[in-house]
Every structure is written in structure tokens, then in C-alpha cells.
């Protein structure tokens, strides 16, 4: 067994060090290999173990790593896995905790990432051959000093079992690592390490052949949806990439670049960075041009860490919460209980807040909790005020202050309201945000699934309705921001009138709308943003099918209201036909008030005036009057007007309200 020192070439840069965090708190090490743009092949027992609570709670993948007892290097970054797919639900068919030959046949799993890892590491090819071969084995065994390599002859057990037997072994920790066939001159993955003996005299590899091939082929494409926004997610040296779930990321395993810097991207979810020392071992800074990023410096070793949407710093002595001002007002409510927030409790309240629960309702819940009642069990207003001073501000109340708040309570102000005046006071801001406090304020902190991630050059909105403003966006070095709206009705409010912006469709992807601010040269790439709110008008970004629904509103001589259009688009996505929707328009009270009192000639003329903004020519009026008199329904006539070429040009022109794209996710 030899150590591979040059991990910048194939096949070594594609081999991954894996850390698995189990539900029971156990952490184990393993190996894998990059076999797709966001796919890492490993063993099933690396991601599932009934003895540790079942499926892994979190998996970290580090390609091309160097690791021993005193060294960790991640030259291509380190990334949390977004999902993992097992060859079966449980490799341990007989429940004895040991891998039999039959169980090793299915001991295979595919880890999915939300980044294009293959773009920086390369991708190992695979072979579905079943023959025996001279093999190269790679992995990160615990007994090794880094990425280790061994060679041996792999004997195939096909077709009885999808396994290879090798008379040597790398050892524990190399599980999931690849067995390579290099006979063609190109290293090809033939399987993954499943098991062996404790003396490492032999190994059993799960073979990428026979019945495993169909599963593998399907699994490779099953996680392609994770790549939809990968163009906006960072990769490379110094990058620590999280997921859209709650991640726990450890400083001692951060990837560090040549300048001794690390950029940690938590994205959505309640993300915790576990730091290696005490809070006083670190210094903190927020730059005026990047207020969403907390910069943390480890004063012991000089490591500089940029935290993007990481929500909690866990030190040896305390927690610090990284919050927006709106989130921080909820965290400060805990001072009325004379304690810092617990992560689970604050997470629950922030989730409720993002789902529409008001701050005042949350505050009311605090004052009605048993914990609150245990502290503030007095019925006397003055005593209540004095307790607020003592508990929240950690000082006796001054006589003027006590008198003021007592009088407010006596005059009918609720205890909830008085409490929030204390928790949100300037004095409590200074206490909770001081060196000894527990809050670090940033401009934006994505904590829940409904929060938007706003980073330099990219925005990841939520699956719900999101409202973004041009002033919130952080441009990259090329003065650009790419915005992913996802599903839901997402709006972008612009700083100026529509004529000061240029719009065009991406030449490679018709679903992407380019928007350029002529005044500032700021450039935005819009993916599934549904409404542009300029200072003079709104423009809806729609597919052609969606636009025909939006054009129905011209029969009312108005542009769509947002909620109404979203409701109809959702009905359409759920199967309601366009004709049914159009008929609902023609049967509405708004339609009746405008059209029902007129004869067919006047109805046709009114369609001209209302939809096309002009009087009807006699030939056209005669045509439509005859058609209506001959049985054409008013609903069908309306559709032919709203869908006319003339109305397309009106609604999609410079003065219109529709921008056509290839697809636009509204629901």
C-alpha cells in the first residue's frame, strides 16, 4: 500500500474522502469516487447502517483530500451531500451486522450533490464488464496517511454474485472507494469496496455489473434536478458548500485556499458552524459592500472565514446567532426569560415567522409560556416593570423609567407590548450584540426554507411567493446577479421606470430572461422570476400558454392582478383547460357589468375598443356580428380577440405587460 501525494491528476483527484454523521451521533469515515457531474459512487453501508440509526443524518464529501492524524487538505473544496440513493433499502439482509457475499452484491450507493463537482475534479468513467482483471484500489483507510493505493488481481464471481474478490486490502475507512481497471489506458470504475477481513488480507468489492447496472443508470439521472441552480453555487479551493437543509459544518474540516481563507455557504436551513475554540479567540467584521457576510478570523492560526447564510456559530463557550434585524427581534425575546435561545426553539419561531406568524403573536406566546409565568408571577404592574429591568437589562430600573412604564400599564398597555419595548430597546440591542452577547447582525440570513439566499452574484429564492428588490441584490465583479425564483409567484421590484432597462431572452436557454439597467449597467439573469415591478408599470414573465390566460384580462381593460393571475395559472397547472378558464371570465360579474347590456354588434365593437384600444372597422364588425348571430359564443369571440396577432403585439410590446419566455414556474 502506497500513499498518493499528487492528487491533482486522474484518477486521484476524483477520489473522495467521506465523513458520515449518523443519527446516533457517531461519525465515520469512508471513500467514494466522482462518476458524474454531481454524483459520487460509494458503498451502501457508508450511507445506511441500522446499528447507527438507519440512514445517515449528514454526509460530507471532499474530493482529492489529504488527511492523516495532523493534516487535512481539501484542494477542491468540501461539500455537504443533498441526497443519497441506496441500491437497496438495507444491505444487512439477515440482520447480523456482517456483510455476506450476497449482501456485498448490493452494497452500493450514489451520493448526489447540488454543485457541478465534475467540472473541477473530472469524472471517472465506468465499466460494466464482468470479467476478472488486474485492479488498482484507492481510498482513505484509517490506517493510512492520506489517499492510499493498492494493487491486486480481482476475481469475478459473476454471474452468481456481483462482486470481485481481491487477495489484499486497504482497510477500514476505504469502504466505498473505487476498484479501477486500467487495462485500456483509461482508469474505469468497476466497483466499490464493500468489506474484507480485519487483517486486510483480502477485500470484497461490490461490482458495477449484472443487476447493479440498471440501478446505477437510473440513479445517475435521479438527482439531476439538484443541478438546476448549480451555475450559481461555488466550487473549488477554500469552498465549504452546504445544502438547502440544516447543515453542521466543522472548522477543522474547512477547505482553505492559498491565502488561508475559507468561504462557507450554508444556503437555506439552520446551518451551524462548529468552531475550534472559544468565542474570544475570534474577531468579527462586516464590510459595508457585503452586509450579508460575516467575516470571522481565528486569531490563533490566522484563518479567515467568510460565512454566507450560516446561522449559528458554536464555540466552546457559547452560541452566537447570525441574524437579520427582523430575525434578531425574535431572538431577543429570549432575554425576557433570562437566557439565550436554544437552537431548536429559535428555529421553530423563525419557521413560524417565515410562514406568516407576526412578531406580536410570537411575543404573546412568550408571555403566555410557563417559563415566563414562573419568572413574572406577580400581579403588580410596578413589580412587573422592575422585573423586566432586572431580567432583560440586568440592572435595577431607574425611578423615572419604572414610573413611566408602570403608568403605561395602568393606562392599558399590554404586558406583551411593554415587554417588547424592553427586548427591542437600544440598551438591549447593545447588550445582545456586544462581545459578550449572542447576536451578530447581517443584512440577510437564510434560516428557513421560505427565506431567500442573497449572495454576491446570485439569489436563491424559495418555493413560495418571494418579493425581491433591486437594492437587495449584490452584484459580482462583472456587475451581474443571477436570480433563481423556483416555484411560487416571484416578483422583482426595480429602481427605475421600464424604459431604462433592456430585456432579451438567453440564446441558449429560452427560460432565462436577461435584464440590464441602462443607468448602472447592472445585469440580471432571471430564472423563474414571474413579475417585474418597474416604477411605472408591472410586466409578467410568462410562457406562451400562461400568456394566453393573462391576455384574457384585456377583456376587462386592465392588466392582471397578481393574486388573480396566480390563481388561474395554478388552476391551469392542475388541469383546468384554457377554454374553461376563458368561460369563467365571460361568466364573471366584471364581464357582465361591462358587456351584458349590449347587442351583438355593440358587443363586437366593445371588444375592439376594450381589447384592441380602437374602434372596429365596418368589415370586421360585420364579420363578428354575423358570427355571433350564427351561434358563435361570446366567450369564443372574446378568445379570438384576446389571442389575435394584434393583441399579442399590444400586450408584448414596449407598452405591454407580458414578457414571453420558454417556461416560467408560478405554482
Between CA 35 and CA 478 the distance in angstroms is 32
Closest CA to 642 of 577, 541, 547: 547
Residue 69 is predicted with a pLDDT of: 80
Bridge partners for 58 per DSSP? 21
- The H-or-E segment that residue 640 falls in is helix 634-642
Q: Angle, nearest 10°, between helix axes 634-642 and 578-586?
A: 110
Question: Which distant-in-sequence residues (6+ apart) come within 8 Å of 277 by Cβ?
Answer: 298, 300, 315, 316
Residue 667's pLDDT is 82
Q: Which residues contact 272 (CB under 8 A, 6 or more apart)?
A: 246, 247, 248, 249, 310, 311, 312, 313, 314, 343
Q: Which of 284-288, 327-331, 539-543 has the lowest mean pLDDT?
A: 284-288
In this prediction, residue 653 carries a pLDDT of 85
pLDDT tens for 161-178 read 999 999 999 999 999 999
606 pLDDT tier (thresholds 50, 70, 90): very high
- The pLDDT tens digits of the residues spanning 233-243 come to 999 999 999 99
Q: How far apart are CA 181 and CA 178, in angstroms?
A: 10
- pLDDT at position 347 is 97
The predicted pLDDT at position 443 comes to 96
- For range 506-528, the mean pLDDT: 97
For 430, the grid coordinates are: 447593545
The pLDDT assigned to 377 comes to 84
Q: How far is CA 363 from CA 20, 342, 415, in A?
A: 39, 16, 10
- What pLDDT was estimated at residue 478? 96
Confidence of residue 288 (pLDDT cuts 50, 70, 90): confident
pLDDT for residue 157:
96
Pairing verdict, β 458-460 and 453-455? antiparallel
Checking if the pLDDT of 623 tops 80, the result is yes
Q: Inform me whether the pLDDT recorded for 50 exceeds 90.
A: yes
CA 646 to CA 642: how far, in whole Å? 9
Q: What is the pLDDT of residue 378?
A: 79
The per-residue pLDDT of the chain, averaged, comes to: 96
Cα angle for residues 507, 513, 515 (degrees, 5° grid): 115
Residue 598 has pLDDT above 90, yes or no: no
Mind listing the pLDDT tens digit for each residue in 361-411?
Answer: 999 999 999 999 999 987 799 999 999 999 999 999 999 999 999 999 999
| Distance separating alpha carbons of residues 55 and 561, to the nearest angstrom | 46
pLDDT exceeds cutoff 90 at 70: no
Sequential DSSP letters for 198-259 = TT-S-EEEEESSTTHHHHHHHHHHHTGGGGTTGGGS--STTEEE--SS--EEEGGG----TT
pLDDT at 314: 98
Closest CA to 81 of 113, 54, 43: 113
- The C-alpha cell of 469 is what? 428588490
pTM over 0.75: yes
Residue-wise over 478-509: b if at least 16 C-beta within 10 A, else e?
eebbbbbbbbbbbbbbbeeebebbebeeeeee
Question: Which domains does the chain show, CATH number per domain?
Answer: 2-227 (2.40.10.120), 456-536 (no CATH), 544-660 (1.10.3130)
For residue 354, give the C-alpha cell: 417565515
Percent of the chain with pLDDT over 90: 96
Residue 597 has pLDDT above 80, yes or no: no
Give DSSP secondary structure letters for 542-592.
E-HHHHHHHHGGGGGTSPPPHHHHHHHHHHHHTT--HHHHHHHHHTSHHHH
- What pLDDT score does 488 carry? 93
Based on its alpha-carbon atoms, the radius of gyration of the chain, rounded to whole angstroms, reads: 31
Q: What letter would DSSP give residue 452? A: P
pLDDT band per the 50, 70, 90 thresholds, residue 122: very high
- pLDDT, position 316: 97
- Alpha carbons within 13 angstroms on the beta-carbon side of residue 639 total 15
- At residue 575, φ and ψ (nearest 5 deg) are 115, -5
Amino acid at each position: 500500500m502506497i500513499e498518493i501525494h499528487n492528487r491533482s491528476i486522474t484518477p486521484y483527484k476524483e477520489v473522495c474522502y467521506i465523513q458520515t454523521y449518523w443519527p446516533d451521533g457517531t461519525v465515520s469515515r469512508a471513500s467514494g469516487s466522482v462518476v458524474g457531474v454531481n454524483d459520487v459512487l460509494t458503498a451502501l453501508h457508508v450511507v445506511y447502517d441500522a446499528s447507527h440509526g438507519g440512514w445517515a443524518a449528514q454526509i460530507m464529501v471532499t474530493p482529492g483530500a489529504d488527511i492523516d492524524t495532523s493534516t487535512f487538505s481539501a484542494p477542491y473544496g468540501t461539500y455537504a451531500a443533498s441526497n443519497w440513493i441506496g441500491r437497496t433499502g438495507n444491505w444487512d439482509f439477515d440482520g447480523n451486522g456482517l456483510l455476506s457475499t450476497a449482501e456485498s452484491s448490493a452494497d452500493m450507493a450514489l451520493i448526489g450533490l447540488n454543485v457541478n463537482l465534475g467540472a473541477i475534479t473530472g469524472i471517472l468513467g465506468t465499466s460494466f464488464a464482468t470479467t476478472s482483471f488486474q485492479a488498482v484500489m484507492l481510498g482513505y483507510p484509517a490506517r493510512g496517511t492520506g489517499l492510499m493505493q493498492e494493487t491486486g488481481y480481482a476475481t469475478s464471481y459473476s454471474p452468481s454474485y456481483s462482486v470481485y474478490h481481491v487477495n489484499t486490502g486497504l482497510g477500514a475507512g476505504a469502504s466505498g472507494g473505487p476498484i479501477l481497471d486500467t487495462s485500456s489506458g483509461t482508469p474505469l470504475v468497476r466497483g466499490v469496496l464493500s468489506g474484507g477481513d480485519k487483517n486486510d488480507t483480502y477485500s470484497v468489492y461490490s461490482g458495477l455489473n449484472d443487476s447493479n447496472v440498471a440501478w446505477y443508470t437510473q440513479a445517475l439521472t435521479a438527482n439531476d434536478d439538484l443541478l438546476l441552480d448549480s451555475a450559481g453555487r461555488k466550487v473549488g479551493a477554500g469552498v465549504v458548500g452546504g445544502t438547502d437543509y440544516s447543515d453542521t459544518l466543522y472548522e477543522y474540516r474547512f477547505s482553505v485556499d492559498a491565502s488561508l481563507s475559507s468561504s462557507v455557504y450554508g444556503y437555506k436551513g439552520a446551518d451551524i458552524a462548529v468552531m475550534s475554540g472559544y468565542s474570544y479567540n475570534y474577531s468579527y467584521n462586516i464590510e459595508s459592500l457585503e452586509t450579508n457576510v460575516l467575516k470571522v478570523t481565528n486569531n490563533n492560526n490566522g484563518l479567515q472565514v467568510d460565512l454566507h447564510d450560516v446561522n449559528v456559530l458554536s464555540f466552546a463557550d457559547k452560541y452566537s446567532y447570525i441574524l437579520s434585524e427582523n430575525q434578531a427581534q425574535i431572538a431577543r425575546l429570549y432575554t425576557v426569560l433570562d437566557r439565550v435561545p436554544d437552537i431548536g426553539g429559535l428555529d421553530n419561531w423563525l419557521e413560524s415567522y417565515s410562514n406568516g406568524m407576526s412578531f406580536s403573536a410570537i411575543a404573546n406566546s412568550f408571555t403566555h409560556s410557563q417559563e415566563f409565568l414562573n419568572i413574572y408571577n406577580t400581579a403588580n404592574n410596578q413589580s412587573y416593570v422592575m422585573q423586566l429591568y432586572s431580567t432583560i437589562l440586568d440592572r435595577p430600573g431607574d425611578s423615572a423609567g419604572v414610573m413611566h412604564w408602570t403608568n403605561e400599564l395602568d393606562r392599558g398597555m399590554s404586558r406583551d407590548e411593554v415587554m417588547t419595548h424592553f427586548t427591542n430597546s437600544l440598551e438591549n440591542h447593545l447588550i445582545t450584540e456586544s462581545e459578550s452577547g449572542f447576536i451578530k447582525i447581517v443584512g440577510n440570513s437564510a434560516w428557513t426554507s421560505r427565506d431567500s439566499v442573497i449572495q454576491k452574484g446570485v439569489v436563491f429564492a424559495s418555493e413560495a411567493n418571494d418579493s425581491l428588490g433591486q437594492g437587495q441584490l449584490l452584484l459580482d465583479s462583472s456587475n451581474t446577479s443571477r436570480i433563481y425564483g423556483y416555484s411560487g409567484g416571484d416578483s422583482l421590484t426595480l429602481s427605475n421606470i421600464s424604459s431604462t432597462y433592456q430585456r432579451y431572452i438567453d440564446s441558449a436557454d429560452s427560460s432565462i430572461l436577461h435584464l440590464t439597467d441602462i443607468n448602472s449597467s447592472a445585469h440580471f439573469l432571471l430564472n423563474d422570476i414571474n413579475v417585474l415591478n418597474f416604477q411605472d408599470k408591472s410586466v409578467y414573465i410568462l410562457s406562451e400558454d400562461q400568456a394566453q390566460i393573462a391576455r384574457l384580462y384585456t377583456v376587462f381593460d386592465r392588466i392582471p392582478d397578481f393574486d388573480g393571475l396566480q390563481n388561474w395559472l395554478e388552476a391551469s397547472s392542475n388541469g383546468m383547460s384554457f377554454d374553461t378558464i376563458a368561460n369563467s371570465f365571460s361568466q364573471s360579474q366584471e364581464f357582465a357589468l361591462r358587456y351584458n347590456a349590449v347587442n351583438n354588434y355593440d358587443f363586437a365593437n366593445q371588444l375592439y375598443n376594450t381589447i384592441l384600444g380602437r374602434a372596429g372597422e365596418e368589415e370586421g364588425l360585420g364579420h363578428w356580428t354575423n358570427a355571433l348571430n350564427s351561434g358563435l359564443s361570446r366567450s369564443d369571440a372574446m378568445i379570438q380577440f384576446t389571442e389575435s396577432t394584434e393583441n399579442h403585439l399590444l400586450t408584448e410590446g414596449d407598452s405591454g405587460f407580458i414578457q414571453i419566455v420558454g417556461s416560467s414556474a408560478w405554482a
